Amino acid sequence: MSEQPNRAAAQRPRNYWPLAGVVLGYVILAVIYGFLTPLFEGPDEPQHFAYVLWLTDGKGFPPQGEAAWDTPMEQEAGQTPLYYLAASLPVRLVDTTAAKATYRPNPYFPGPALENKFDNDNRAMHDFAQERSLQGEWLALYLARLVTLLFGVLLLIGVYFLAVQVRPHQPLFAISAAALVALTPQVLFLSSVVSNDIPAAALGTLALIFLAVMIRRAPERSGVPALAAGLFIGLAALAKINALLLLVPAAVTILWLWLGAKSSFKQTAVSALWMGGGFLLVSGWWFARGLRLYGSPLGMGTHDYAPWVIADPQSLAKPLARWLEVGRYYWITLGWGTVRPQAWVYGIFLLFAGFALVGLALAVYRYWKKHGLQINPGAVIVIMLGVTILANMLLLEVWMNRVIAPYGRLLFTSIAPITIILILGWQAVQPRFVMLPLTFLAATAVLAPFYLLRPAFTPPLLSAQAEAALPPSLGWRFGETADAPLVELISVQPRQDSVAVGDTLAVQLCWQVLAETSKEYVIFAQLIGPQDSRVAERRSYPGEGLLPSSQWQAGDLFCDDFFMNADAQWAPTLVYNLEVGLLDEKTSKRLTAVGPGGDVLESTFVDRVLVSNPSVSGGGEAAILENAGSAPIQLVESTWDPDPWRPGERYTYELDWAAPEPLEKDYQVFLHLRDRASGAVIAQADHAPLDGWYPTSWWPAGEIIRDAGQFTLPADMPPGVYNLVAGFYDLASLQPFGEEFLLDTVQVGR
């Protein structure tokens, strides 16, 4: 944090070509991000753009509170208006009546998730030909995105000059700060969509520059920068309400002028008045309007009607989980939060942040050893930036206790201070250490559009080479009627043949379009058990949400990767039927399925999947067998209703089986009452294990399989004592398999 003045260096003209290079690289990358991000796929982009159109159409400022939810802006109607006013300027030059940009929500969008699964990552349904037509409101949307990008350029310039205030004689420090922001993937992404986060960050950074100038200047010369700081704080607050946190570093600056720079109370008060006057000049009217019309100067009440408001404090995630998610959103979560890199990428970002904290501790220790309690202006600027970060974090924590909002972009108002503090920490560890995070960020920023955005938002149409690798077609055709098929099911491939309750089953479904249609159809897949119970199900528009049937072209071949959560905690361990098909979106009527021979299929079960649930008694319980012997199936335990039994009555039993080794075939269970003398079978209850829902070929080695059922005695059965015997046999050959087990003798009375 110490300063090392170099007058010769200070007198040399500063070379801005490196900054120009950083800005150029940033613009190129942001354009790539924008090209690969479909319209409406920025967070809340439909609502942000609706605000722009609202102003363009001359409707005035939008309503707030509950009334906002009756408009297409929803919660964004409560936002301050500066960015939307700026974006509306170029939009006014467009004939927006030429084409309407209709936002169609994808009902199967899963919501932000940690898993890296490219499956319905699109928050909106897309007609890519219309979106790229550059007509009407589609063109207006691109122009609004361009305004965001221009604010991003302003942000980089601001970060550079704020870093100059921190280290005036180290040009590489300022370039590193600008580059770090320019290469942050989340900054690039948000700069390429309609959003007010980047404008608020840019204007807030300019405010911090003038606060830093006030700290470095003599108190009597702080009037103009104080006015400029107030103006930019007001503008930043007009771009996003959380920029009001900049009043905290402003207070720190005023306090320094009075106590640290030994300014007179009068001079300090004049500077504060200049700053407050600038703030009120540009933004006071907005807050006064909110207070007069809605009784709320900040307009935050609009969010109280949102579905994501936290009604039950007990449902709030733990602080560590919340802030880890904030960190992920700060560095890179694309789309509406579902398009993410592998977990190890976040681990590296966390590691770099840890190094920065260690470096900051070293820097503070070294400064104290050299200067003691003497604080120079450079150190005050760093303290002011640190206070800005803490104020932002505190504000975000309060906000996250009100609504579900672990969004790192809400820290972007202080992105310049965060960046500068990070670099100071890295340099304290080792002067050249900053090259490591910069290199990693550069690689992430360059690769993310092609390895994250493109696959997430590209319809999964297959190439000729991929088509050749598919297995022979199942030949199942689906249509409104049997003689008018629309699509053919080529193959179904579960990624695994078993899944535990609470885990996810991945299934690939490949289709070929036979005819075009104007209707929307929905693909479904589900795991069906006894009595039509469903332990997992999933619906989606075709092509992982990116290829709705209304846009099909005959001959299209595509594969869907379906991810189904087996979250039925009540489900016993069984082998469930995997069923797939299509539904009419409006009527939920299933399309008719026809087999290869032209016969209508009564059911469309295509495979079987084992769902294990150890929490349900007798299902999936470990039973590592000792002294297994040679029996391929062993009886672990058996229970039945106590005798005496009576003819014509029904009795229950439970047989716990386990196989020491996997079995290759499916065998039948027999349960016999035999005459003790002749061995003749008097009564029997032969059946497939668990009524066929858990065939022996699926049994894992050493696992208890509980087969429960009922045993009915013939009405004319003579009384006596019988042997109750159980075992297995091959249904095809009727030959016994393995040992048979004498359970006990049973007394049958009259």
Domain boundary among 612, 634, 651: 612
Q: Are 532 and 637 contained in the same domain?
A: no
Q: Are 324 and 410 contained in the same domain?
A: yes
Q: What pLDDT score was predicted for residue 525?
A: 93
Q: What pLDDT score was predicted for residue 6?
A: 44
Mind listing the pLDDT tens digit for each residue in 445-487?
A: 999 999 999 999 999 998 877 888 888 899 999 999 999 999 9
Q: Tell me if 370 is assigned to some domain.
A: yes
Task: Give yes or no for a contact between 623 and 588, defined as CB atoms under 8 angstroms apart.
Answer: no
SS (H, E, C) 110-173: CCCCCCCCCCCCCCECCCHHHHCCCCHHHHHHHHHHHHHHHHHHHHHHHHHHHHHHHCCCCHHH
Q: Are 624 and 599 contained in the same domain?
A: no
Of residues 64, 56, 60, the one with CA closest to residue 86: 56
The C-alpha torsion from 69 through 70 and 71 to 75, rounded to 10°, is 0
Chain position carrying tokens 């009576």: 646
Q: Are 596 and 675 contained in the same domain?
A: no
CA 445 vs. chain centroid, Å, equals 19
Mind listing the pLDDT tens digit for each residue in 380-423?
A: 999 999 999 999 999 999 999 988 889 999 999 999 999 999 99
Q: Count up the domains in the chain and report the number.
A: 3
Distances (CA, A) of 250 to 157, 310, 407, 489, 574: 21, 32, 25, 64, 65
CA 416 vs. chain centroid, Å, equals 26
Task: Give yes or no for a contact between 171 and 7, defined as CB atoms under 8 angstroms apart.
Answer: no
Q: Read off the tokens for 657.
A: 């089986």
Q: Tell me if 679 is assigned to some domain.
A: yes
Measured CA to CA, the distance from residue 161 to residue 205 in angstroms comes to: 9
- What lies within 8 Å, CB to CB, of 496 at 6+ separation is 505, 506, 609
What is the residue range of 580's domain? 464-612
Q: Are 259 and 150 contained in the same domain?
A: yes
Q: What pLDDT score was predicted for residue 4?
A: 47
At residue 457's C-alpha, the angle toward residues 29 and 479, to 5°, is: 165
Q: Are 599 and 632 contained in the same domain?
A: no
Q: What is the DSSP letter of 302?
A: G
3-class SS at 94? coil
Measured CA to CA, the distance from residue 601 to residue 293 in angstroms comes to: 63
Q: Are 37 and 169 contained in the same domain?
A: yes
Distances (CA, A) of 89 to 61, 83, 701: 15, 10, 70
Q: Which residues of the chain have pLDDT under 70?
A: 1-13, 111-116, 617-630
SS (H, E, C) 584-653: ECCCCCECEEECCCCCECCCCEEEEEEEECCCCCCEEEECCCCCCCCCCCEEEEEEECCCCECCCCEEEE
Domain boundary among 582, 612, 642: 612
Q: What pLDDT score was predicted for residue 259?
A: 85
Q: Are 604 and 685 contained in the same domain?
A: no
Distances (CA, A) of 331 to 42, 523, 606, 634, 678: 15, 34, 42, 56, 79
Q: Are 546 and 689 contained in the same domain?
A: no
Q: Are 191 and 287 contained in the same domain?
A: yes
Q: What is the DSSP letter of 403?
A: B
Task: Give yes or no for a contact between 410 and 381, defined as CB atoms under 8 angstroms apart.
Answer: no
Measured CA to CA, the distance from residue 228 to residue 274 in angstroms comes to: 9
Q: Tell me if 568 is assigned to some domain.
A: yes
427-445 exposure pattern, b = at least 16 Cβ within 10 A, e = fewer: bbbeeebbebbbebbbebb
Q: Tell me if 101 is assigned to some domain.
A: yes
Measured CA to CA, the distance from residue 47 to residue 78 in angstroms comes to: 11
Q: What pLDDT score was predicted for residue 620?
A: 52
Measured CA to CA, the distance from residue 99 to residue 613 in angstroms comes to: 53
Please write down the long-range contacts of 624-628, taking CB distance under 8 Å and 24 or more positions apart.
624/702, 625/658, 625/660, 625/702, 628/660
Q: Are 202 and 134 contained in the same domain?
A: yes
CA 119 vs. chain centroid, Å, equals 11
Q: Tell me if 28 is assigned to some domain.
A: yes
Q: What pLDDT score was predicted for residue 44?
A: 95
- Residues composing the chain: 750
**Which helix (H) or strand (E) segment is 748 a member of?**
strand 736-748
Q: Tell me if 581 is assigned to some domain.
A: yes
Q: Tell me if 306 is assigned to some domain.
A: no
Q: Tell me if 1 is assigned to some domain.
A: no
3-class SS at 32? helix
Domain boundary among 612, 634, 667: 612
| Most distant pair of Cα atoms in the chain: their distance | 118
**Which helix (H) or strand (E) segment is 739 a member of?**
strand 736-748
Q: What pLDDT score was predicted for residue 316?
A: 80
CATH number, position 596:
2.60.40.770
417 half-sphere exposure, CB direction, 13 A CA radius:
29
Q: Are 445 and 336 contained in the same domain?
A: yes
